[in-house]
Amino acid sequence: MIYRFGDFELDKAAYELRQDGRVCHTEPLVFDLIAFLLQTNGRVVSRDEIVEHVWKGRFVSDATVSSGIKAARQVLGDSGAEQCYIRTVRGRGVQFVAAVKTSGGISPSASAPAQPQPENADRNTELGIAANRPSIAVLPIRLLTSTEQFGSLGDAISHEVIVELARLHWLHVINRGSSFAFRDASTDLESISQVLGARFIVSGTLALYGGNSVVTVELTQVESRRIVWADRFEQPVSDLLALKSTIAAHIVGAIESRIQMAEAIAAGRIPTGNLDAWSAYHRGLWHMFRFTHSDNTAASSYFNRALQGDPGFARAHAALSFTHFQNAFLNFSDDRKSELMLTRKHAETALAHDPFDPFVNLTMGRASWIAGDLDGAIPWLERSIELSPNYAFANYNRALIGVLQGDGEASANQIDKAIALSPIDPLSYAMLSTRALSHMVIGDYEAAQIWAARAIKIPNAHFHIFVIAAIAYECAGHRGEAMKCIARLRALHPGFEVKEFFRAFPFQAAGFREIAERALNQLGLN
């Protein structure tokens, strides 16, 4: 059945709302609400009827229904003031008032019940892994200070965040038209979540005081009613464009890692026998970033389980590539040649399934790096950054390749960006160590040991981090601190050989390998 009204047509079979032939992005519940109203043939319908047909009788608040109606009007370019399509009949309900034509041989009937639409979970099941991708809505940042000059700045920041989040590729980001329908601070987040189908909601405020601006932002996991991240940004408003992009970059960098963390925690609560592909993938991520042999083995098992549920899950293939990279990088396997081959094989498989995923492109770059082809790694890492400029992990990897090639100064700027984007990152020890290396390759060992000292204090730092710190301390003349790092290294990897370090980090920086190797030899390592 196709319903035509104004410039719109709603195609139930294709599950599309189109305006002048162009598909309008419509959230599932909003689509169902419009479809139900169209089927009532101009009859006034009560809120109870709407709940029964659209929410399948589940308990929802009046605020949720009101938010749904508001979102439906927004999609149609309607408003509560104009009510060109959806009219509120006070005390009775709502009515679809525009003229409607149908095709398909059946006319809408007031007595005919609404054709049942599949619930979101059922409909999404048909879409494979997309069913369980976390969904996020970014609400317009509310301006607390009344001023015409900066009235649209809050919207501009929120819009920038939406655009950058969409680049991450693994998130389902609710479009601006739907999210920006909710400007009223009195609407509770649970109601907004139910209308938009959003698992996470970003909200915030903007206040202006003289020449300064203060932006506060929160990321809420709606189901648990838990704020998983919050921050406050205070900057001068003299350069609004820089303000907008800088704040958006920090928000996106923080959100990415915090949602991944929240998804991993949620997956950890699910009985192993009930894990779906998405949950198995995130259970695997939790193990993968611990950088131990047993955890890496467990991660590989979970990623394989995810692929059993969804063979086309690109990120699970990319994560498998990461585990084989780790086997080669940390010498977990005696068959290095096989690990290098599997690192590339799974990265290429991931790329075949999704060439636009930043993480997938990053694993292609890491496959080249671990094989010693630094030049070959660069295009993939730069493509990953091009796809998602605020992807901290890609910025860190690109900086590390630059350091290995001897470009310490430029790489320092890029690693600083990565650290700023994700200051509490699971791999922050690697970022800090790369910052130390950026000083070491240009001979500034005193500065290097300061960064290295920070890196070794981060939980889950693997043995290479202590090797880097030992070199920095030894070259800076701090033998006692260097020997403490060697003791920690031997505890983590009793059979360590110097060649393992240079196999993992194939330095091309002129003369640095010789300096580092001599320092390790002086510390009793061969």
Last residue of a domain, one of 368, 401, 421: 368
Q: Dihedral of CA 185/259/352/414: which sign?
A: positive
Asked if 257 and 322 sit in the same domain, the reply is no
Asked if 261 and 278 sit in the same domain, the reply is no
| pLDDT for 256 beyond 70 | yes
Query: For 156-211, what is each residue's pLDDT tens digit?
Result: 889 889 888 888 778 888 888 788 888 877 778 888 888 888 899 999 998 888 77
User: What gap in Å lies between CA 6 and CA 8, rounded to an integer?
Assistant: 5
Using DSSP, state whether 91 is helix, strand or coil: coil
Average pLDDT over residues 347-370: 94
pLDDT band at 121 (very low <50, low <70, confident <90, very high): very low
Q: How many CA atoms lie within 13 A of 366 on its CB side?
A: 30
Asked if 138 and 260 sit in the same domain, the reply is yes
Asked if 226 and 282 sit in the same domain, the reply is no
User: What gap in Å lies between CA 432 and CA 52, rounded to an integer?
Assistant: 55
**Domain presence at residue 378:** no
β-strands 135-138, 172-173 pairing: parallel
Query: For 302-318, what is each residue's pLDDT tens digit?
Result: 999 999 988 989 999 99
User: What gap in Å lies between CA 268 and CA 279, rounded to an integer?
Assistant: 8
pLDDT band at 111 (very low <50, low <70, confident <90, very high): very low
Cβ atoms of 38 and 3 closer than 8 Å: yes
Ordered DSSP codes for 98-132: S--EEESS----SSSPPPPPPPHHHHHHTTGGGGG
Q: Which residues, 6+ apart, have CB-to-CB distance to 75 below 8 Å?
A: 17, 24, 26, 30, 34, 177, 178
- Report pTM: 0.69
Question: 């203060």: which residue's tokens?
Answer: 214
Asked if 337 and 400 sit in the same domain, the reply is no
Asked if 280 and 309 sit in the same domain, the reply is yes
- Supply the CATH number for residue 217's domain: 3.40.50.10070
Specify the pLDDT at position 117: 36
Asked if 132 and 192 sit in the same domain, the reply is yes
Question: What residues are paired with 202 via a beta bridge?
Answer: 138, 219
Query: For 464-516, what is each residue's pLDDT tens digit?
Result: 999 999 999 999 999 999 999 999 999 999 999 999 999 999 999 889 999 99
Average pLDDT over residues 102-113: 43
Specify the pLDDT at position 429: 96
Q: Which residues, 6+ apart, have CB-to-CB distance to 488 below 8 Å?
A: 456, 466
- Which residue range is the domain that position 89 belongs to? 2-117
**Domain presence at residue 494:** yes
Task: Convert 397-411 to b/e letters by CB count within 10 Å (16 or more is b).
Answer: bbbbbbbbbebbeeb
pLDDT band at 275 (very low <50, low <70, confident <90, very high): confident
- Phi, psi (degrees; rounded to nearest 5) at 481: -65, -35
**Domain presence at residue 462:** yes
Q: Which residues, 6+ apart, have CB-to-CB distance to 468 below 8 Å?
A: 433, 436, 437, 440, 452, 455
**Domain presence at residue 49:** yes
Asked if 225 and 95 sit in the same domain, the reply is no
Asked if 325 and 429 sit in the same domain, the reply is no
| Number of domains observed in the structure of the chain | 4
Higher pLDDT, 286 or 15: 286
| pLDDT for 403 beyond 90 | yes
Q: Which residues, 6+ apart, have CB-to-CB distance to 480 below 8 Å?
A: none
Asked if 219 and 258 sit in the same domain, the reply is yes
- Supply the CATH number for residue 492's domain: 1.25.40.10
- Supply the CATH number for residue 113's domain: 1.10.10.10
Query: For 431-463, what is each residue's pLDDT tens digit?
Result: 999 999 999 999 999 999 999 999 999 999 999
Specify the pLDDT at position 147: 64
Asked if 74 and 104 sit in the same domain, the reply is yes
**Domain presence at residue 382:** no
**Domain presence at residue 364:** yes
Last residue of a domain, one of 60, 82, 117: 117
**Domain presence at residue 336:** yes
Asked if 359 and 403 sit in the same domain, the reply is no
Question: What residues are paired with 94 via a beta bridge?
Answer: 45, 88
**Domain presence at residue 469:** yes
Last residue of a domain, one of 61, 91, 117: 117
| pLDDT for 123 beyond 50 | no
